Amino acid sequence: MGNKKFNIAVAGATGAVGNQMLACLEERKFPVKSIKLLASSRSAGKKLRFKGDLLTVEELKEDSFKGMDIALFSAGGGTSERFAPCAAGDGCVVVDNSSAWRMNEDVPLVVPEVNPHAVAGYTKKGIIANPNCSTIQMVAALSPLHKEYKIKRIVVSTYQAVSGTGKKAVDELADQTRAVLNFMDCKNRVYPHRIAFNCLPHIDSFLDNGYTKEEMKMVNETRKILEDDTIPITATTVRVPVFYGHSESVNIETCKPIAAVDVKKMFENQPGILLVDDPDNNVYPLAIDAAGQDLTLVGRIRDDESVENGINMWIVADNIRKGAATNAVQIAELLAMEYL
Ligand code: A2P
């Protein structure tokens, strides 16, 4: 990145992902010249720590981005829809974590290990979209397999942590768990049903085809990132009582012959991937191990004995880090290094 330093804005800095974005910028030693923390008017005046300094949160406004180089957004779809164009209009490149811009054909959708070249398309709208958390970890693992074996079909079921819904959902799982264990009444504020000691096959809203938006995000975003509109993909997304770390059962069929033993070898040397696959010693990817770090863990790799060329695997990553904040900061690094 040379010696250049950048003026960075974080929209949604008080949220679960926004907070982690600050931590990632610090951890990864992003060349920050100045940092501006933005959130709703409710949070204006709050203090947050960055590199040892206490910084004051400001209310996000249309003119918040004047003089800024890069804005990391994680303040919800409506906020991104309204304010990302304001930032871009002021010459500040937006890396947006919401779903508002992901499928816009003038907005690149980027996982740096998979399609870094797509960043170049930021010039069209001044916006780059960060994919959905479940999509990021799945394509991180599947992209090398697609290159080598050409994937013919993907079937995925997810087991997603509550932190993906935001801070309020993390509190809800903790409160409900405490309530159930103390034989007290549970209140459902964030989800339509109790999440403690339960699984909800319902993430985001339902669409006319019976799938949820989350499920269709996995279908459409995967195709866009792998630059292959023809791959058949079907998804079932489930919220589970886990705080951090999304797990996924993924089944693929490929055009070329594929074997679990070769897939394991391939995952030994993939950037961003950690092979965790020693079932004889009870070693496989776990949400509690994925949480707090940036690698995508892959394991339980098996030949699918029900089809000719098929593989089953279990993919786990920290949804707030690689699934959101880290991926966004990696995109910002690419931008800073190669384009700004
Ligand atoms: P605030 O804390 O002021 O509500 P999470 O997903 O963890 O709930 O976080 C959402 C983030 O998006 C928070 O930083 C929140 O700020 C911010 N946010 C939500 N609505 C707005 C809005 N209308 N304008 C600016 N920031 C918003």
Q: Ligand 1 within 6 A of 79 CB?
A: yes
Of the CA atoms within 13 Å of residue 47, those in its CB half-sphere come to: 6
Q: Would you state the structure tokens that stand for residue 7, as one six-digit string? A: 């003026």
Ligand 1 atom closest to Cα of residue 165? 6
Selecting among 24, 86, 92, 133, the annotated active-site residue is: 133
Ligand 1 atom closest to Cα of residue 41? 3
Q: Show the DSSP H helices in 62-132 as ranges.
A: 77-89
CATH of 6-130+324-339, one of 3.40.1190.20, 3.40.50.720, 3.40.50.300, 3.30.930.10: 3.40.50.720
Q: Residue 3: what pLDDT?
A: 83
CA distance 252 to 333: 32
Q: Residue 298: what pLDDT?
A: 98
Annotated catalytic residue 186? no
* Summary mean pLDDT of the chain: 97
Q: Kindly list the domain boundaries of the chain, sorted by start residue.
A: 6-130+324-339, 134-319
CA distance 34 to 18: 16
Q: Ligand 1 within 6 A of 163 CB?
A: no
CA distance 128 to 99: 11
Report, as an integer, the average pLDDT of 46-74: 97
- CATH class held by domain 134-319: alpha beta
DSSP 133: H
Asked if the domains 6-130+324-339 and 134-319 are classified in one and the same CATH topology, the answer is no
pLDDT in tens, 288-337: 999 999 999 999 999 999 999 999 999 999 999 999 999 999 999 999 99
pLDDT in tens, 248-276: 999 999 999 999 999 999 999 999 999 99
CA distance 268 to 168: 37
Q: Residue 2: what pLDDT?
A: 67
Q: Is 202 buried (19+), middle (13-18) or exposed (0-12) by CB count in 10 A?
A: middle
Of the CA atoms within 13 Å of residue 221, those in its CB half-sphere come to: 28
Q: What is the largest CA-CA distance in the chain?
A: 60
CA of 37 to the centre of ligand 1 (A): 11
CA of 11 to the centre of ligand 1 (A): 8
Contact present, 71 and 10 (Cβ < 8 Å): yes
pLDDT in tens, 139-195: 999 999 999 999 999 999 999 999 999 989 999 999 999 999 999 999 999 999 999
Selecting among 86, 92, 186, 246, the annotated active-site residue is: 246
